[in-house]
Chain A
């Protein structure tokens, strides 16, 4: 892989975090391909089985983002820290990207920051004429205790 390609892929991952941190859902979806698919999964050692905690296509994500402002939500901002670990060729013009993910939450009152969750981003990135786009994202959570929770997907 050429270094410009790797650079474009990494920037796509990081921009996706910046957009979601800013709750700029339009910017986030602009980074996603038409058939984008998003999921949050985790393994439960208690059940000894895989769990899916969120599963949406692009339309589902769009609807979720439209609905969220109608709900009562925690307003403290979260900050996603991603580090791209591996970039490997997939099928055709797709590459598989694995990144480490840490999510921090900062209290509005006083600004104390706590570690909220750790996990990995398993992304499929499609490289085409207009650059790199997210085709699939699976947020693989290690953390399963999220206190009183959060509405915005990681």
Chain B
């Protein structure tokens, strides 16, 4: 029998760890708090080292907490990151998303900065400031920056943050053997979707939705070993999913992947979800990286990267690009399906729609259709936010109203 209002609004009959209140996806105040409590103290992937290969190469990145950043390789080859904000009158210093700049010069009044964040020129400095202000007073704001875990540039905008290695803990152990060789980004695109950023990360944290993907049903779900893939939770909200053998040749037009990945069995597939919104996804021939940049409670910009090996021959690279495009490219079969699903969640789940609860109640021994990946995320979310995800506005609804038999 369908539910009435009281029944619909009453909490699910699961333990409180097994569902979340949909206001975690829709509430403005919660969203503002997430930027401060989740994103500001976390390590975030800004780009990959291959995007800034030469000295003076730079790449811009808008940090999920809102800060515009420049990631730049110095004359000494070291990668550093700075606010892309001119200390003079607050202009954007670099405008193009990537480039090579020996001097980073603000167009407004031509103050100039080097790749170490020093101000090296103030136009008519003496005349205007006499001895009251000088270049040393006009340095850029530097943020913590490390190249790690497959050559990715990790940023932290909080000075006294937890070290990156401690933040990641053992979550990358499953992937590190496959990321020893230098990689290269061959694909980049952004998708702006009207949905909450966590709904994207949730989708990357549960495989039950393989039912959404015809490709995965055919090449994965119907194949031996599928139900043995397991989730492993790690400290700080990260989780990994182990491999199975994907039978790519079961999908018409696809074939057993011709280029593999060093040390990995053909058809292998590993995933690592990093709190609060990044995913490493290594599927035989391609590593995909998602970085979620929330723009509002119901809007997210996702950056997608596809990587191959730096040493790829032309033919190998072509095959990786082909494999990537088939499922993960902007016209790929799986990506559109995933985006369509979270777009649908955004339609049904924003202020005022009447959406109340999201179930995360499946238990299957931490195997592939268990929803433990999401539960683990929301345990960390609740800890960091100081609000339980099942009751984030602390209304204390507790006893479920059961539907009449």
Contact = CB atoms under 8 A, between A and B. Distances in A.
Contacts of A72: 212-214, 337, 340-341
Contacts of B251: 67
For the complex, would chain B's binding face be called helix, strand, loop or mixed by DSSP majority? mixed
A71 B253 contact: no
Interface residues of A, number: 31
Nearest to A149: B336
Interface string A141-154: 00011111111010
Interface in B239-274: 251-253
A5 interface: no
Interface stretch (B188-196, B278-286, B390-398): B188-196
A77 B134 CA distance: 60
A148 B340 contact: yes
Nearest to B211: A72
A66 interface: yes
A148 B331 contact: no
Contacts of B343: 147-148
Contacts of A67: 214, 251-253, 333
Given A47-B188, A70-B214, A145-B192, A151 B321 contact: no
B325 A46 contact: no
Interface in A40-59: 40, 44-49, 51-55
Contacts of B213: 71-72
Contacts of A44: 188-189
A153 B329 CA distance: 12
A26 interface: no
A63 interface: yes
Given A67-B253, A145-B192, A54 B329 contact: yes
Interface in B181-234: 185-193, 212-215
B322 to A, nearest CB: 6
B378 to A, nearest CB: 24
Interface in B72-105: 96-99
B336 A150 contact: yes
Nearest to B61: A46
A119 to B, nearest CB: 12
A47 B185 contact: yes
A51 B98 contact: no
A60 B212 CA distance: 23
A53 B253 contact: no
A74 interface: yes
Nearest to B100: A48
B51 A46 contact: yes
Nearest to A153: B331
B331 A53 contact: yes
Contact of B186 (A51, A148, A150, A151): A51
A145 B190 contact: yes
Given A47-B51, A53-B330, A70-B214, A148 B321 contact: no
Given A46-B59, A74-B336, A149-B339, A51 B190 contact: no
A153 to B, nearest CB: 6
Interface in B160-196: 185-193
Interface string A62-79: 011011001111100000
Given A52-B321, A66-B252, A153-B331, A145 B340 contact: no
A80 B92 CA distance: 37
Interface in B299-355: 321-322, 325, 329-331, 333, 335-337, 339-343
B190 A144 contact: yes
B335 A55 contact: no
6 contacts: A73-B337, A74-B336, A145-B191, A147-B193, A149-B336, A150-B336
Interface of B: 51, 59, 96-99, 185-193, 212-215, 251-253, 321-322, 325, 329-331, 333, 335-337, 339-343
Interface of A: 40, 44-49, 51-55, 60, 63-64, 66-67, 70-74, 144-151, 153
Given A54-B329, A148-B191, 7 more contacts: A44-B188, A45-B98, A66-B252, A71-B333, A72-B214, A145-B192, A148-B343
